[in-house]
Chains A and B, each alone.
Chain A
Amino acid sequence: MSSLGNIIKKEARELMTPTTFIPIILIAVMFGTLGNAFGNIEETMQEKPVIGLINADEGNFSANANLIIEGYSDVVFKSNDTLEKDKGLEELKEKEGIALLIIPSDFSEKILNNFPSEIEIYWIMKGAGILDSISSAVVEELIKIINTNISYELISTNATVNATIALNPTYRNETTYFKGRELKGVSPGDITNILSSQSTLIPIVMMMVIIMAGSTVISSMALEKENKTLETLLTLPVNRISIVAGKIISSAMIGLILAVIYMAGYSNFLGSFEISGQINLIDLGLYLSPSDFLLLGLSVFVTLIAALSFCMLLGTMAKNFKSAQTLTFPVTLLALIPMFITMFKDFDTLPAALKVLLFGIPFSHPMMAPRALIFDDYILVISGIIYVGIFAIFMIILAVWVFKTDRLLTGSVRRKKKGRSLFKLK
């Protein structure tokens, strides 16, 4: 074999290890699973939205609007009596509809008299994730088609029409029902926009904190082993809980400092894109109270401790600094999955299997908490804190146990089949 071939063979053998391939395979599986779970966006956009329609007008414009609505959507509730609004909303909720459109009795008449006419829309919003707003976007597109159609008709049949009315013959009067609240004057798109900074900022910051602080703990353990300082430390008069707690607390402190620096930079970055809106969040009740902030802080704190305890456990398996880098992968994966899910979907609109997965991943909870707290979903937040707290305690107990066993220094001892032993020391 040539020298080059010899080197290639040796390098390839070194690189072709399970630790090289498993992370990539897992990432591929993760994206595949998430893609399937989220469903096909294109399909969702092409699906007819389920809506209700109360058309109290008998004019031409509403008749045309009626035809467009029926052509492009699945109308599950129909009426010509505006007093049946509540009945319509009930029926829509049962049939998983997304909006009830009300065309008032003077709809056509007002337009003909050069006044913009109102279309009342009652939205039933299910989630505030980026993908959750696709259905409402389809209905909004429908309203635009109605508008364009009326404009075309006005211009082609009525030469004296006011230009402003010809371009904007209708206006929307919107009310959104979301998580038990009636939000007047806002559309699901508005709410998604309001919550989008949280949807992106908090999951990304949490992900960064977990990965940064987590890799600090794993590296610290790996360096103790690589620099051969661990053996000395373990023979000193210091109990194992102090060693574990010391490493977790110091990493948590560093992690929080890094998070503050990161958050300051990132919020500045996001702020540059923000356009000051006319929607008053306090009037809509879309804000966090001091007690909500307390719960959010608690959620972040227990999650950080849980993450670091988990990393400490992983760190005990590290042989050296190189292996520590591989061991940060599970942490990164567990931080990335909830980050992507919470950015794109609301917990309530997820399929059951994904809900279980998201709740089971301890790092998800502070990512979900802000939105849940805004909409008073305290059960999700408090149960999350309790779950993550139990997870953290379990991880700490497990890490302390590993510190008290030989495993920390000697690695694993496996038995081969047929009674042959395989002794593997770190």
Chain B
Amino acid sequence: MAVVEVNNLVKSYGPLEAVKGITFSINRGEIFGLIGPNGAGKTTTLRVLSTLLKISSGSIKIMDYDLEKEPDEVRKIISYLPEDAGAYKNLSGRRYLEFIANFFQEKNTQQMISRGMEIANLGERIDDKVDTYSKGMMRKLLVGRALMTEPKLAILDEPTSGLDVNNAQEIRRLVKSTARAGTTVLLSSHNMLEVEFMCDRIALISNGIIVEEGTPRDLMEKYNAKNIEEVFTKVVR
């Protein structure tokens, strides 16, 4: 069953067309990777799907909700982690998670906060002000925030950006286990190894157009490549 259905999506900023009619769908529990060079339209696509930007033309359905007509309903079932996101510096990690959880009144907020703290895995530092966190700690807190709500769709823009190898591996494992538990994941990344390891399917986007789509294995076979990085360089020249 498709959780996300994107049909002929176009997104323009004035005269500039950043996304030029892309179509893809993501099934329940699937990790779908959107990869491409800088300025290809990845973040724009993710921002449109997370209700931040308006659709210029085309349509998007998330769990049967029309994103253009029912953005408030969509916001209840998605979670977006921007690439360079931050948290409120005057709050502690715990207070930040509480602040976010309070927007989801229908769910058990206390349970949600505990889950967020578990994912963030910051130990006693969870009660310190966010202002004192390292980049890696901040990212872990934000991943905890994004996944604690058990969204139907998690949209993750460069989830391991700025993390060291150990922390990045931890986040990847977390995302995979979240997907196994039923959350659909749409992520973008520049790290081809990460994409190959995590994604069930990937779409290569270049100049606002999806130029290739498939499982990592199929794409590697098709392009007779040893890894996705090679596929990427062959497709996006």
Residues of A within 8 A of B (CB): 227-229, 231-232, 234-239, 405-406, 409-410, 413-415, 421, 423, 425
Tally A-B pairs: CB < 8 A: 70
For window 28-77 of B, CB contacts with A under 8 Å fall at 47, 50-54, 72, 75-76
Contacts A231-B82, A415-B14, A423-B16; is A237 near B52 (CB within 8 Å)?
A: no
CB neighbours (8 Å) of A236 from chain B are 75, 100, 103
Asked whether, in the complex, the Cβ of B80 is within 8 Å of the Cβ of A235, the reply is: yes
CB neighbours (8 Å) of A234 from chain B are 51-52
Residues of B within 8 A of A (CB): 13-16, 47, 50-54, 72, 75-76, 78-82, 84-89, 100, 103-104, 142, 145
Contacts A239-B72, A413-B14; is A232 near B51 (CB within 8 Å)?
A: no
Asked whether, in the complex, the Cβ of B16 is within 8 Å of the Cβ of A232, the reply is: no
In the bound assembly, the distance between CA atoms of A235 and B50 in angstroms comes to 6
Q: Which of B13, B87, B104 is close to A237, meaning CB atoms less than 8 Å apart?
A: B104
A147 → chain B, closest Cβ, in Å? 67
Asked whether, in the complex, the Cβ of B54 is within 8 Å of the Cβ of A405, the reply is: yes
Q: Which of B53, B81, B88 is close to A406, meaning CB atoms less than 8 Å apart?
A: B53
In the bound assembly, the distance between CA atoms of A424 and B91 in angstroms comes to 33
Asked whether, in the complex, the Cβ of B103 is within 8 Å of the Cβ of A415, the reply is: no
Contacts A228-B85, A413-B14, A414-B14; is A235 near B51 (CB within 8 Å)?
A: yes
CB neighbours (8 Å) of A421 from chain B are 14-16
Asked whether, in the complex, the Cβ of A231 is within 8 Å of the Cβ of B89, the reply is: no
Asked whether, in the complex, the Cβ of B103 is within 8 Å of the Cβ of A237, the reply is: yes
Asked whether, in the complex, the Cβ of B50 is within 8 Å of the Cβ of A237, the reply is: no
CB neighbours (8 Å) of B145 from chain A are 232
Asked whether, in the complex, the Cβ of A423 is within 8 Å of the Cβ of B13, the reply is: yes
Other A-B pairs beyond A232-B81, A235-B51, A405-B54, 4, CB < 8 Å: A227-B89, A228-B82, A235-B75, A406-B53
CB neighbours (8 Å) of B79 from chain A are 235
In the bound assembly, the distance between CA atoms of A234 and B15 in angstroms comes to 25
B112 → chain A, closest Cβ, in Å? 13
Asked whether, in the complex, the Cβ of A413 is within 8 Å of the Cβ of B80, the reply is: no
Asked whether, in the complex, the Cβ of B87 is within 8 Å of the Cβ of A229, the reply is: yes
**Which residue on chain B has the smallest CB distance to residue A231?**
B82
CB neighbours (8 Å) of B86 from chain A are 227-229
23 contacts between A and B (CB under 8 A): A227-B86, A227-B88, A228-B84, A229-B85, A229-B87, A232-B80, A232-B81, A235-B50, A235-B52, A235-B79, A236-B75, A236-B100, A237-B72, A237-B76, A239-B72, A405-B54, A406-B52, A406-B53, A413-B15, A421-B15, A421-B16, A423-B14, A423-B15
Asked whether, in the complex, the Cβ of B53 is within 8 Å of the Cβ of A235, the reply is: no
**Which residue on chain A has the smallest CB distance to residue B88?**
A229
B1 → chain A, closest Cβ, in Å? 23
CB neighbours (8 Å) of A425 from chain B are 13
In the bound assembly, the distance between CA atoms of A409 and B13 in angstroms comes to 11
In the bound assembly, the distance between CA atoms of A236 and B77 in angstroms comes to 9
Asked whether, in the complex, the Cβ of B89 is within 8 Å of the Cβ of A235, the reply is: no
In the bound assembly, the distance between CA atoms of A238 and B80 in angstroms comes to 14
In the bound assembly, the distance between CA atoms of A413 and B16 in angstroms comes to 9
Q: Which of B54, B88, B89, B103 is close to A238, meaning CB atoms less than 8 Å apart?
A: B103
In the bound assembly, the distance between CA atoms of A236 and B78 in angstroms comes to 8
Q: Which of A228, A237, A238, A410 is close to B53, meaning CB atoms less than 8 Å apart?
A: A410
